[in-house]
A and B are shown apart, each in its own frame.
Chain A
């Protein structure tokens, strides 16, 4: 009876956005009288940071401080249409809609500022700190707040914008499956280190080393949160979770968190992450959605590491101690496959 160490690898790519398109998102942006910007959406913040990432995208596009942007979502009376938060579409689809709405609002803002400064709008730039200045002449400037006041009360101009982003719906071919599934893909590769107890069948993941390619980390902290949470979810799915332990038999189904097993926060595996950024052409500032894809490579990497540790192929999820023990029994004991 012994503890066997194993190491496994997996790599994946992941489609960003609803398959075959047809999933529009809209955004509306307008300024308050003193130059703060409201972004109205119908996107849902599930905890992934939808409100924050769209706020940062609006701030970057408008060229105003992020503190001066507020995202209001989701009220069907005021927020324009959006398909919803699923299919890794939030950042890509909603983010692009917010860029478009913010770009239009910025255009109005620059024209209003140009009128106040008596220059050509094309000669103006924002400093991201709440000022609009003549390119190359920072002293000739006006604040965003004064611009908004002038636009609203003097010029009779709205600083507002609308945006929609749509990849038009397309079909899959019946005979060949030909299709344009999505326009961008995220990537990941990951190494799992774990231990298998050949007496209990228990698997303990000890370390994860990973690389995730996310297009651009629009907010590095939100990316980090997704990757750590996603790896936890992958470990949980691989080793613990199911609503039907004897699928397709429906018996013994868990009904609460006493019987639906998951690792606790104290069992989050030490995880060393590298984030790669290869911007996608049609994604907002190149950013792909890291949320969904990051759990996927964990599952096969764990199965591969278990095989490396004890020589048992675990092809059925979740990989419970019972399955590991039955595999060991069928093999006549542990057969370590060698150090990697």
Chain B
């Protein structure tokens, strides 16, 4: 049904295939535990007297909280503690504040108003989960309904309700200047003017759920010496630890986070909501506390991959060359920012897809709506734009009457091409992937396509140059809300020009702090340039205001040398390597069902 072949014949001269362990199908260190049910997940850490915490959630998209009455809930059987926003020491955060990105905009618990359906307004801590759920139902909250907005483009209109006062224009403010992230490379409008065809379309992706088998959760307990242990399934241990330290205003040294094994993540376990909540519960009660989402919360309250809308406009020549491509994108961030503004910069750096296009522009908006905040998911910032670009490529192929694979190979980026974010492409392999996939599917491609290579023809002439670029200052923060800007697409008229060839230095990895930490070059298994992280393009300062930069500013691309010494006779065979030689020391016996023991009871649960 399924087959896998390793095409060792392709790029063979760039690899040393004689490594000892790398490339072997070694069995996973943790797999026996997983398949026998013995691996310890966060929920397998049982504590005597474990308390259960559940959230009271908003039934409205947008409402002011007038009053919270917890008296009846507090008197319910088993209830140990009612927790509200007042109990959270620092009740405002943004996830990326740990890397100084964005403004604090999200409370752990709503206090003045709720901004999305399902937002936390209080918690109950009780002896059992059942008791906690019953008490949650007994909390009475008086709301004053506010108008809400759910569509990204509605939210940009001057009269739209303000969702989050930290971002009063319903957009993230990029660089404290614009209500969107710009990309400007060349002159798209001139490109459209000389194109034979214009192809336009709009694409949309609905929110989806990461859907891990194990929902987000954490168990926190007081340790000795004023510390708290937290067993968690976070995807980012120190993000969760740092966020908890900030929200609860305690030294990070008082937190002991243990995780490392998650029952699926796919991006949905980065947000660090359950960890500070569980530790807060442990702090307030002095007892071990579990806080975990049920499936409903995972699907409707836990952050999904957010909705995105993209519009693409291409200028295409009769022969299939794309000469201009313009994007207008909208990310639905939901009520708070979390990671969406960052993903937009990632998405912008990805444009115009893996193609060499001389004129590219883009405006992408991070829009606040009255919706569950969005977060990361497999392919974050890229999945929807790739969907849009690749559907669009087929539209273009139809308009010019070309085989869609030939169209892609014709426009594919190659080593040495200049990308729209002003860095040179290297280590490219799109063409080879297209050729191999077409071959496997018996989808005929043209002789030119079959002969193309990522290694040849890149960086030549226009392909390797940064064009003179038209800029504009449309979409300054607040303009749209004031009714002075309506169009969301990149401006049709420029207000400035940047001379050709302008780029600052590329950024590469920091070198090792001690030469002993550098693996010997001959053991790396592939070729490596002498100076990693060396500037790929000339510094911006060298040619300000010059219409045509000196040739020396953008050195002609020279392909890197082949790996030397070449591997001894790389196998041309397409067959995967033989199975590994892993043999456990002892026959595996721990999974055997012992008499009198439930097979569903793991060793860690028995007490």
Contact = CB atoms under 8 A, between A and B. Distances in A.
Interface in A162-181: 162-170, 172, 174-181
Contact of A11 (B343, B382, B430): B430
B517 interface: yes
Contacts of A254: 209, 299
Given A79-B237, A185-B428, 17 more contacts: A44-B260, A56-B24, A60-B523, A174-B178, A211-B434, A243-B299, A248-B332, A250-B150, A268-B2, A274-B4, A275-B4, A278-B10, A281-B532, A286-B525, A295-B379, A295-B383, A304-B404
B295 A257 contact: yes
Interface in B494-531: 496, 498, 503-504, 506-510, 512-514, 516-520, 523-529
Contact of B5 (A14, A275, A316): A275
A118 interface: no
B2 A271 contact: yes
A198 B177 CA distance: 50
Contacts of B54: none
A185 B263 CA distance: 27
B380 A87 contact: yes
Contacts of B517: 100-101, 103-104, 161-163
B131 interface: no
B15 to A, nearest CB: 6
B206 A244 contact: yes
A205 B181 CA distance: 37
* Nearest 9 pairs of A and B residues by beta carbon: A84-B236, A181-B349, A300-B390, A177-B183, A279-B526, A74-B260, A174-B175, A19-B346, A128-B20
Nearest to B378: A292
A101 B383 CA distance: 34
Interface residues of B, number: 164
Interface in A143-196: 161-170, 172, 174-185, 187-191, 193
Contact of A191 (B202, B300, B441): B441
A181 B181 CA distance: 14
B206 A187 contact: no
B99 interface: yes
B300 A253 contact: yes
Contacts of A230: 378
Given A47-B262, A162-B517, A181-B350, A211 B422 contact: no
Among B150, B378, B405, B435, chain A packs the most CB atoms within 10 A around the CB of B378
Interface string A1-17: 00000011111111100
B378 A262 contact: no
B197 interface: no
B22 interface: yes
A239 B355 CA distance: 27
Interface string B1-22: 1111111101100110001111
A303 B5 contact: no
B422 A178 contact: yes
Contacts of A255: 295-296, 299-300
Given A61-B519, A177-B182, A260-B211, A191 B443 contact: yes
Contacts of A210: 437, 440
Contact of B26 (A47, A52, A70, A75): A52
B471 interface: yes
A60 B379 contact: no
B187 interface: no
Nearest to A233: B378
Contacts of A170: 507
B540 to A, nearest CB: 9
B213 to A, nearest CB: 9
A78 to B, nearest CB: 10
Interface stretch (B77-85, B250-258, B589-597): B250-258
A281 B528 contact: yes
Nearest to B520: A103
A266 B94 CA distance: 41
A138 interface: no
Contacts of A63: 20
B421 interface: yes
Interface in A63-110: 63, 65-67, 70-71, 73-77, 79, 81-87, 96, 99-104, 107-108
A176 B433 contact: no
Contact of B354 (A9, A187, A304, A340): A187
B304 interface: yes
Contacts of B518: 100, 103
Among B387, B508, B524, chain A packs the most CB atoms within 10 A around the CB of B387
B549 interface: no
